[in-house]
Amino acid sequence: MINAADVSSRDEPATSAKNTVTLRPDHPLIHFHGRWDSAPGTWWAGSGFKLHVAGLKSLVLNLGSHTTAPLVAVGFSIDYAPFVTVNVSAGANIIPLPASISGKKNSSVLRLNVEGWQNNRIHLESVELNAGAQVLPYKPSELAFQFIGDSLTAGQYNVQGVVSSWGFLTAEAFKAEYTINAQPGACLTDQLCWGNYHGISYQYFKTEDTGYYYTTDHNYTTDWAFKRDISPTHVVLHIGANDNAYNITGDAFVTTYLGFLERLRKLYPQQPFFVFTPWGWPSADGSVGYYYDGRYAEIVQKRKKLGDKQIYLVDTTGWVGWDDVYHDNTHPNEQGHRRVAAQFGAWLEKWGLRPKKSWPTST
């Protein structure tokens, strides 16, 4: 983990301001993903941006006052290498680049994502590149996953948060774009759950995640303009653990889930929907605690009876064992997330989806 502030003094930028290339948030070649408000600032784990740059030698991220204080962890990757955690804060942040950049003749792809499931806001003022750098168009992958869930999808408790979550790993393995709308503690049902004042069935349609309520500079919600998204090619849902914890009845949960799917189908009329069953809560004795037994299959069957031919049940029984979870809270650990990603990847390939052979924006 790197603190950007430690790379160089805030009073001594790594590059001279003379002739540097400064990109404001409205620059057309910054490829944003996830949910950004008008500041612009990030909401939801995994939101960020991508840049395709020729002649890259240095990178400074200038962040505004709405950035999480004192630090916020972002995952940074260059040329599709594994993500490295960099701690950034309001002000000028010099992002360390790998030595391989020096003297590189080809262009580079920079990817940046906020990692945390909370305290994950960056307020982008500008991106500063070295003199002579040329920003090129970023061509997104033809595959794009939309993941919807709770802590089991957000990567809660993992050192790198969402960057090491099963959804993110699945997208990386398939060389796909992704958006992850997952909030720990949130029910699907629109009610108070573990401090979340709204459920995902409400919050998914908002710019802000469910933590908006506690954010003093922005404690309100705004409708999300879905036209800003790359339309997903595949939608994946894994949710319900918190509804069960709050004693939402099976019948009520099915009704809420069906209503949510109906709204999603209006946004995504042709995309396949993959509905995960719970992999449950493993115990040291080998037993696993499940919830809403049979209800997810019921949801899928009811959608099919309504004429939905693009909805599929993903049976995750046995995907996660005792060694795959943190023993004090039974959420997937890094190994568990990798295992789920591998299992789901195999399921998808059997279903008929193949990983892309390469990323479309070459370096």
pLDDT of residue 261: 98
Question: Which amino acid, 202?
Answer: Y
- Residue ranges of alpha helices (H) inside the chain are 4-7, 151-154, 166-173, 200-203, 241-245, 250-267, 295-305, 334-351
Residue 249 and residue 123 in one domain: no
Give the whole-number percent of the chain exceeding pLDDT 90.
92
Residue pair 116/183 in contact (Cβ under 8 Å)? The answer is no
Residue 120 and residue 222 in one domain: no
pLDDT of residue 1: 67
| Average pLDDT, rounded, for the chain | 94
Rounded Cα–Cα distance for residues 111 and 241 (Å): 31
pLDDT of 327 higher than 60: yes
DSSP 3-state of 255: helix
Distances (CA, A) of 198 to 187, 192, 203: 8, 6, 6
Asked whether residue 123 is assigned to any structural domain, the reply reads yes
Residue 14 and residue 118 in one domain: yes
Encode pLDDT of 164-202 as tens digits. Answer: 999 999 999 999 999 999 999 999 999 999 999 999 999
Q: How confident is the model at residue 302 (pLDDT cuts 50, 70, 90)?
A: very high
Residue 131 and residue 155 in one domain: no
Residue 169 and residue 230 in one domain: yes
Encode pLDDT of 50-92 as tens digits. Answer: 999 999 999 999 999 999 999 999 999 999 999 999 999 999 9
Q: Please compute the mean of the pLDDT values over residues 6-35 and round it to a whole number.
A: 73
Q: How confident is the model at residue 113 (pLDDT cuts 50, 70, 90)?
A: very high
pLDDT of 13 higher than 80: no
DSSP 3-state of 84: strand
Task: Indicate the DSSP class of residue 143.
Answer: -
pLDDT of residue 207: 98
Q: How confident is the model at residue 17 (pLDDT cuts 50, 70, 90)?
A: low
Q: Please compute the mean of the pLDDT values over residues 242-261 and round it to a whole number.
A: 98
pLDDT of 11 higher than 60: no
Q: Please compute the mean of the pLDDT values over residues 292-299 and round it to a whole number.
A: 98
Q: How confident is the model at residue 266 (pLDDT cuts 50, 70, 90)?
A: very high
pLDDT of residue 210: 95
- 149 phi and psi angles, rounded to 5 deg: 180, -150
Encode pLDDT of 140-150 as tens digits. Answer: 999 999 999 99
Sequence-distant contacts of 9-15: CB under 8 A, at least 24 apart: 10/91, 10/92, 13/60, 13/92, 13/94, 14/58, 14/60, 14/94, 15/57, 15/58, 15/60, 15/128, 15/130, 15/131
Beta-bridge partner residues of 110: 51, 78
pLDDT of residue 27: 98
Residue 75 and residue 156 in one domain: no
Residue 97 and residue 153 in one domain: no
Residue where a domain terminates, one of 74, 107, 136: 136
pLDDT of 353 higher than 60: yes
pLDDT of 8 higher than 60: no
The pTM of the full predicted model, rounded to 2 decimals, is: 0.94
Asked whether residue 362 is assigned to any structural domain, the reply reads no
Task: Record the tokens describing residue 171, joined without a space.
Answer: 């997208």
Distances (CA, A) of 130 to 87, 104, 125, 301: 21, 14, 17, 56
pLDDT of residue 18: 66
pLDDT of residue 88: 98
pLDDT of 103 higher than 90: no
Residue with tokens 């031919």: 309
Q: Which of 179, 157, 184 is nearest to 168 (CA)?
A: 179
DSSP 3-state of 13: coil
Structural domain including 69 reads 2-136
Rounded Cα–Cα distance for residues 7 and 304 (Å): 55
DSSP sequence for 166-221: HHHHHHHHTT-EEEEEE-TT--SSSS-BTTBSS-HHHHTTBSS-GGGGG-TT--S-
pLDDT of 7 higher than 60: no
Give the whole-number percent of the chain exceeding pLDDT 70.
95
Q: How many separate domains does the chain show? A: 2
Residue 281 and residue 197 in one domain: yes
Asked whether residue 347 is assigned to any structural domain, the reply reads yes
Residue with tokens 């301001």: 17
Rounded Cα–Cα distance for residues 59 and 314 (Å): 42
Q: What is the CATH number of the domain that holds 71?
A: 2.60.120.260
